[in-house]
Amino acid sequence: MTTHIALIRGINVGTSKRVPMAALREMLSGLGYSDVRTHLNSGNAVFGSDDSPAEVAVAIEKGLADELKVPAQVVVRSRDQLIAAMAADPLTADTSDGSRHFLGFLRATPKPAAVKDIPELADDADNAPDEVRLVGDHLYMWCPNGSLKATFSKVNWDKRLGTPVTVRNWNTATKLAEIAAD
């Protein structure tokens, strides 16, 4: 059995798409997932399943829409994938505040042509004091003045990269890795 982390995008932000974590845990258990745990009230769940991350994402999206009447995109990583993504962070040496250091989870690896056309990701991009890097299907961001003030805060990453993206700060990613290890 593989430990998975579901990252549900856009729930419990503002007044729409409200999902109580108890209802989410119940829905996930009903889908056959074991040892379901949630973290925070923002759509982070850890559980066991023999299904692939892609199969799990589809099942959770269907469950959210059908059972909880909340359409939401879901990106799933195995515990090992999350650990590998964190280890691959090209910004680690430059960051110190986990609340301003972000890890974006892409549903799929973007096409090289899409990445080439994003000025913020160019090798010579001037995003100072912010930093952003794309490595495979993860987006790494350092925003020393906060994400809302970042030079790339208005970039629609989904549209530009051609795949859904959901972002968590480093503190949350670290806690999810810890929960998944238990």
pLDDT tens-digit series, residues 109-161: 999 998 998 999 988 888 999 999 999 999 999 999 989 999 988 999 999 99
pLDDT of residue 93: 75
Identify whether residues 38 and 71 lie together within a single domain.
yes
pLDDT of residue 123: 85
pTM reported for the whole predicted model: 0.93
Give burial (CB, 10 Å; 0-12/13-18/19+) of 111.
exposed
Identify whether residues 86 and 71 lie together within a single domain.
no
Indicate which CATH number applies to the domain containing 47.
3.30.70.1280
Token pair 């799990």 is found at: 56
- Give the number of C-alpha atoms closer than 13 A to the C-alpha of residue 114, restricted to the C-beta side: 14
Residue-wise burial string across 71-97, b where 16 or more C-beta atoms lie within 10 A, e elsewhere: ebbbbbbbbebbeebbeebebeeebee
Identify whether residues 107 and 164 lie together within a single domain.
yes
Amino acid in position 142: W
Where is the domain boundary, 79, 112, 132?
Answer: 79
pLDDT of residue 95: 78
Length of the chain: 182
Q: Total domain count for the chain?
A: 2
Identify whether residues 16 and 44 lie together within a single domain.
yes
User: Residue ranges of the chain with pLDDT lower than 70?
Assistant: 13-15
Identify whether residues 7 and 48 lie together within a single domain.
yes
Sheet with 2-8, strands from edge to edge, namely 34-39, 44-49, 2-8, 74-78
Identify whether residues 136 and 119 lie together within a single domain.
yes
pLDDT of residue 13: 67
Provide the token pair at 47.
Answer: 């559980």
The closest alpha carbon to 145, from 80, 108, 175, 100, belongs to 100
Domain holding 41, by residue range, is 2-79
Where is the domain boundary, 79, 105, 128?
Answer: 79
Where is the domain boundary, 79, 99, 127?
Answer: 79
Identify whether residues 11 and 53 lie together within a single domain.
yes
